[in-house]
Chain A
């Protein structure tokens, strides 16, 4: 039998008292380390976080990669898209024709040199002629009217003739001068989108900080004090929450001039009410917990209890709410800017960029595409991160 194989020394008594029975085997993890570990497992959140970091880096470092500033304009080089169809005139001469049938001199790899000056132009006959390197280049756009009538989008609209021979598109290249193209005033769209990111992230930062401090303190004090004080404080919150944001901003515009500062004041004075409500609710439930009672019996002051015990324990939902509030703030700014209540020209925000693009939307869709893309990515990224944070910080999922 297997039992008989047990050697005699196995029957010796072991003194278990020498063994440390209180030893904790698992690795020590703080609340935040644990939450981070769980957040890391959420792929969507990590993608969101990646894009947020990328966007922040772009906003900070973006301008260093461009030789333009957000207000530099070159009216001659307006409305050039991020990709260009270029034509070869001879070995070293390439041109790009913009949507107004005007020629711009470019290099083969996509750098823009200058706008060419036509030697002859006839608006009635619908042609324009240039002299490039001794060759006569003629643009005949008289087909455009017929093409428009036919309703066929692929119909021929123009012809480029070099010394009488019709030439075809040489190549489609990326715009190396204006990466995202230029707007109608010939400003670099890339740098304007980057500045838009700065404004959006600044709004996000301000909204977060103002919310955090006012909302958390206000809600914390209301929740902890309770009783009549709480009642009065929360009624004030109710009143503030009833004022529609749009109306509020318009009223502020009367007092201050429209611009970033006004938007920040508007968001700062209105957005914290939700945070205050959330924090108050949290504090109300936490303050009945025994560790708070224990702190009271130790003689801890109210301030100490609030700052060391209540708020740190309410931090999880606060952070989730902040993460969710950022996209909402960014969106609100974009919306206000879009309807013309935002930052002033020549400063750009994603909202004003989108607004500027609307006029030429059918001809120059890229001008809307980039600001819209950036708004979407940023808002989505914050939402993904917020969702992940909610799961990671949920106390019910702990253990």
Chain B
């Protein structure tokens, strides 16, 4: 465990579910649900970074958006600093809108192109009445400065900036309310390689400076490993494995995690050409009708009969290492 995280839990998610309703049939009488997030539980300690990885459609972004209440959770609890915020009204939620912030994926879509950069960053100051007039301007300049931009940029419009600069404006907007916890929803996947490192380093520095806690959502395992203290792996709405970053890399237990790790192309010709790849067959099934039992079984080379019948639960197989797989019962027998 990284030294900077203490043991105080800041956020605990318990049995969180988010189903999206899709209407089918005449007048929408027969309803179907996309089980985007299905019964996941995890916690994040103060000052640490939890990485959340998985492929598109696995529910990682939905998890982030449900925690910040952009989506109404279907079931479950979101306990932030001891308070369940999953059912708070928008009004009661307002103080938490200052504590929890979000950085978005698309640097082009995440900034309102009709507003100046100064107004984008300053919007939360207006909403929460934090600062007005000269004080507001002062704060906007300070925020721009913190993300490596100058105050001349405040009067410009988003389309004049490059992707990396826009993403930093997005970070400045999130920082404006002095948050404690930031959900980073794929903040670097739309950026060029050389720019990604700029943004990641900035997130690192800001975390050290302000003691921020991050939920870092991404599909790029190498970046997630770089920035996270602990990593959760999601597959089709389920959390299949959570553990320390090094543990995940050294001894991944879930067959999906193993496949995911082996699929990463390493920028080293010899290594990558000689690597023993686990090539998964087929595609991710539809989250409308997920497979029974273990959702990964349709692509898993170790699938047993039991996997189709019984859903594996996420349990601690080693200290701080949680896995949801029936294979674990043999490898790490349950000790009463």
Q: Is the CB of A300 within 8 A of B123?
A: yes
Q: Which residues of chain B are near A293, meaning CB under 8 Å?
A: 65, 70, 102, 104, 110
Determine which residue in B93, B155, B159 has the highest number of CB atoms from chain A within 10 A of its CB, and name it. Answer: B159
Cβ A399 vs Cβ B159 within 8 A: yes
A290 and B105 within 8 A (CB):
yes
B173 within 8 A of A: yes
Mark contacts of B97-141 with chain A using CB atoms, 8 A cut-off: 1 yes-contact digit, 0 otherwise. 110111011100111111100000001100110000000000000
Across the A-B interface, how many residue pairs have beta carbons closer than 8 Å? 82
Verify A299–B94 contact, CB threshold 8 A. yes
Stretch from B75-83, B146-154, B240-248, B318-326 that touches the partner: B146-154
Binary B-proximity of A1-29 (CB < 8 A = 1, otherwise 0) = 00000000000000000001010101011
Q: Is A153 an interface residue (CB 8 A)?
A: no
**Distance A29 CA – B260 CA, assembled complex (angstroms):** 45
B104 A294 Cβ-Cβ under 8 A? yes
User: What are the interface flags for A23-64 relative to B under an 8 Å C-beta threshold, 1 for contact and 0 otherwise?
Assistant: 010101111000000000000000000000000000000000
A313 and B123: CB pair below 8 A? no
> In the complex, which of the residues A20, A299, A312 has the most CB atoms of chain B within 10 Å of its own CB atom?
A299
Contact in complex: B124, A24 (CB < 8 Å): no
Considering the complex, give the chain B residue whose CB is closest to the CB of A20.
B150
Q: Does B177 contact A (CB under 8 A)?
A: yes
Judge whether B5 is part of the interface by a CB distance below 8 angstroms: no
* Interface pair B159/A313, CB less than 8 Å apart: no
Docked-complex contact B157 and A30, CB < 8 angstroms: yes
Chain B residues within 8 Å of chain A by Cβ, number: 38
Q: How far is the CB of B166 from chain A (nearest CB, A)?
A: 11
Asked whether, in the complex, the Cβ of A297 is within 8 Å of the Cβ of B97, the reply is yes
A296 CB within 8 Å of chain B = yes
* B161 near A24: Cβ-Cβ < 8 Å: yes
A135 at the interface (CB under 8 A from B): no
Asked whether A291 lies within 8 Å of B159 as measured between CB atoms, the reply is no
Assess the B111–A291 pair: CB atoms within 8 A.
Answer: yes
Name the A residues within 8 Å of B65 (CB-CB). 293
A313 touches B104 (CB 8 A): no
Give the docked Cα–Cα distance between A105 and B123 (Å). 75
Given A290-B105, A299-B94: A309 touches B112 (CB 8 Å cut-off): yes
- CA A294 to CA B65, docked complex, whole Å: 11
Contact between chains at B109 and A398 (CB < 8 Å): no
Contact of B160 among A26, A296, A300 (CB under 8 A): A26
In the complex, are the beta carbons of B149 and A294 less than 8 A apart?
no
In the bound complex, CA of A28 to CA of B159 (Å): 10
Partner of B114, one of A31, A294, A296: A31
Bound-state Cα–Cα, A298 to B172, Å:
12
How far is it, in angstroms, between the C-alpha of A295 and the C-alpha of B157 when the chains are bound?
A: 17
From A288, which residue of chain B is reached at the shortest CB distance? B109
Q: Chain A's nearest CB lies how many Å from the CB of B111? A: 6
Task: Establish whether residues A398 and B159, one from each chain, have CB atoms under 8 Å apart when the complex forms.
Answer: yes
What residues of chain B lie closer than 8 Å to A30, measured between beta carbons?
157
Let me know if A304 is at the binding interface, CB within 8 A.
yes
| CB atoms of A313 and B114 under 8 A apart | yes
Residue of A nearest to B185 (CB): A290
Which B64-96 residues have C-beta < 8 A from chain A?
A: 65, 68, 70, 93-94
Bound-state Cα–Cα, A312 to B120, Å: 14
CB-based contact A299/B97 at 8 Å: yes
CB atoms of A312 and B170 under 8 A apart: no
Q: How far is the CA of A308 from the CA of B111 in the complex (A)?
A: 12
A294 partner residues in chain B, CB cutoff 8 A: 102, 104, 110, 170, 173
The contact of A22 among B70, B150, B155, by CB within 8 Å, is B150
Chain A residues 85 to 126 lying within 8 A of chain B, measured CB to CB, are none
Q: Which residue of B lies closest to A25 (CB)?
A: B160
Chain B residues lying within 8 Å of A297, measured Cβ to Cβ, are: 68, 70, 97, 100-102
Knowing that A22-B150, A294-B170, A296-B70 touch, tell me 11 more A-B residue pairs with CB under 8 angstroms: A28-B155, A28-B156, A289-B109, A293-B110, A294-B110, A294-B173, A295-B112, A298-B101, A299-B93, A300-B123, A308-B123
Interface residues of B (CB under 8 A from A): 65, 68, 70, 93-94, 97-98, 100-102, 104-106, 109-115, 123-124, 127-128, 148-150, 153, 155-157, 159-161, 165, 170, 173, 177
16 A-B pairs within 8 Å (CB atoms) are namely A20-B150, A22-B148, A26-B160, A29-B157, A290-B104, A293-B110, A294-B102, A295-B123, A297-B70, A298-B173, A299-B97, A308-B115, A312-B115, A313-B112, A313-B113, A313-B114
